[in-house]
Amino acid sequence: MSPSPASPAQTVPAARRALPGAPFLAAARGERPGRTPVWFMRQAGRSLPEYRALREGTSMFEACFDPEMLAEITLQPIRRHGVDAAILFSDIVVPLKAAGLDIDIVAGTGPVVAEPIRDAAGVRALPVLDPEQVERVADGVRLLVGSLGETPLIGFAGAPFTLASYLIEGGPSRNHEHTKALMHSEPALWHELAGRLADMAITFLSAQLDAGADAIQLFDSWAGALSERDYREFVLPHSAKVLDAVAGYGVPRIHFGVGTGELLVAMRDAGADVVGVDWRIPLDEAVRRLGGGVVQGNLDPALLHASWPVLEAEVRRILAEGRAADGHIFNLGHGVLPGVDPDVLTRVVGLVHEIQQ
């Protein structure tokens, strides 16, 4: 495997908040807080009219690099829904953009790369992310830490495989054919690319943690496209590098992917304190496969469009299944879909909080 740049040194901020009463942090430690904590992926925006009004005329990247705007967007679902954790408003490709890559987020499509990376020259030309290039994101984190009170803030980054997939495919992909072809045909080159992207994720997460983030989530959104054998050989070492690099901060590390029911143990083995579970398998089955531990999930996002009796029954079922875990953080199995009535999300939060563990 080709050497990659040294990982950034860890520094723990002296001002990190003590949040002993936060249910989210307690559950992440495998404790049983007085109520099941709940937050939603993609809660910062998507369905909120106040988000759409604030974002009008502003591109995604402009919003992600504006400290005041990203802080305000992050706070909006806290005010409206009363969720137990904030998730930083950002995008997994923000560090790629910050490092200087020609990448855009196209409405209705997602991240699109101008020049896909599929050979050694492209990999060697991949820039190294400097912490100063994401300083405005860190400024937003510092604003949030001063505004969130007792609510924890989750920072996040994209995992090396998912970032590599965007770079190799040129955008979202159904089959990840170019990624898998490079992975198997040129494994040394793959590991060099994944190693460089791991370093980028470490820099991005470290910037958020140094600014005071209380937990992190590593999104490996597309890892479910892989077999467990391929995941362990080509992906796990690089995700483990990221999660290990931030272990010294002492904050919960969540690892999440879509369609990863067959990869849960491997994703846990990469160094996760909390394993995110999508809606395709029951939480109690996920806990059985994991042999215990803390899980996060796993309401099907589409059911937020269902009638309330249907949705209520699903929430109650998931909470019951979550009792099999050492700790359970209620969430969706993926992100909030556009068009969801925000009042439904607020009602789900209230239901989760009122049901006794």
Q: Which residues are catalytic?
A: 42, 46, 55, 91, 166
The DSSP element (H or E) to which 1 belongs, if any, is none
Residue 46 annotated in ligand binding: yes
Spatial CA neighbour of 219 closest among 229, 205, 233, 199:
205
Residue 316 annotated in ligand binding: no
Residue 110 annotated in ligand binding: no
151, burial (CB in 10 Å: exposed 0-12, middle 13-18, buried 19+)? buried
DSSP string, 145-172: HTT-TT--EEEEEE-HHHHHHHHHHSS-
Q: How far is CA 307 from CA 2, 287, 304, 320, 337, in A?
A: 54, 29, 8, 20, 16
Residue 42 annotated in ligand binding: yes
Residue 44 annotated in ligand binding: yes
Spatial CA neighbour of 94 closest among 59, 118, 123:
59
Residue 166 annotated in ligand binding: yes
Alpha-carbon torsion angle 74, 77, 80, 82, nearest 10? -110
Residue 334 annotated in ligand binding: yes
Task: Tell me the C-alpha distance between 194 and 258, whole Å.
Answer: 19
The DSSP element (H or E) to which 353 belongs, if any, is helix 342-354
Residue 43 annotated in ligand binding: yes
Cα first-last separation, the chain: 47
- Please report, in range form, the residues annotated as the binding site for substrate: 42-46, 61, 91, 166, 221, 334
Specify binding-site residues: 42-46, 61, 91, 166, 221, 334
